[in-house]
Structure 1
């Protein structure tokens, strides 16, 4: 089960990185748009930190997508 948790955490980080890059945003710009520290975005993308539900909603708003699109991408990546 621990391996599953780590795989999902890594998938979440990769999903955020892919979504950010698809919008041509730097980590700093995404952080600014979502009212986060840049290090928070870096930690998310590396799978070091896992966000709260509120943070997922803020990330989605900053990326101009629905929150479920983030989770959907995480699911897709986790299956790989």
Structure 2
């Protein structure tokens, strides 16, 4: 039995906080789709070579879902690129948004 003081924060995400950032998910999905198409791959082929579900890949490309770290690693391997290459555009969009928010 574990002991947690009553003043300790509850585990997990606080109420009302969402983990999906639609703008960043959309940027990542677009970058993923562009890289897949540039490689001449179908969603089915990339899903097969990456070991992920095609429907999950579709949700990622549409920006409906955000990838897990494991999914990003598998996708990068399937595309024959480094993981950071998949994240570059999303990171730039995130940093631009943070700078814009600070200057307001």
Instruction: Say which SS state the counterpart of residue 56 (structure 1) adopts.
Output: helix
How many pairs align?
75
Higher relative contact order (CA 8 A, sep 6+): 1
Q: Write the distance in 1 (CA, Å) between the matches of 2:44 and 2:89.
A: 22
Q: Which has the higher helix share?
A: 1
The runs of 5 or more residues in structure 1 that have no matched partner are: none
After superposition, give the CA deviation of every residue in 1:6-37 in whole Å (9 maximum; x if it has no partner): 21110011011001001000000000010111
The runs of 5 or more residues in structure 2 that have no matched partner are: 1-17, 97-104
Is 1:61 the counterpart of 2:77? The answer is yes
Question: RMSD across aligned C-alpha pairs, in angstroms?
Answer: 1.4
The TM-score normalised by the length of structure 2 is 0.67
Is 67-76 or 6-15 further displaced after alignment? 67-76
Greater gyration radius: 2
What residue in structure 1 maps to residue 40 of structure 2? 24
| Structural mapping, 1:1-80, within 5 Å | 5-76=21-92, 78=93
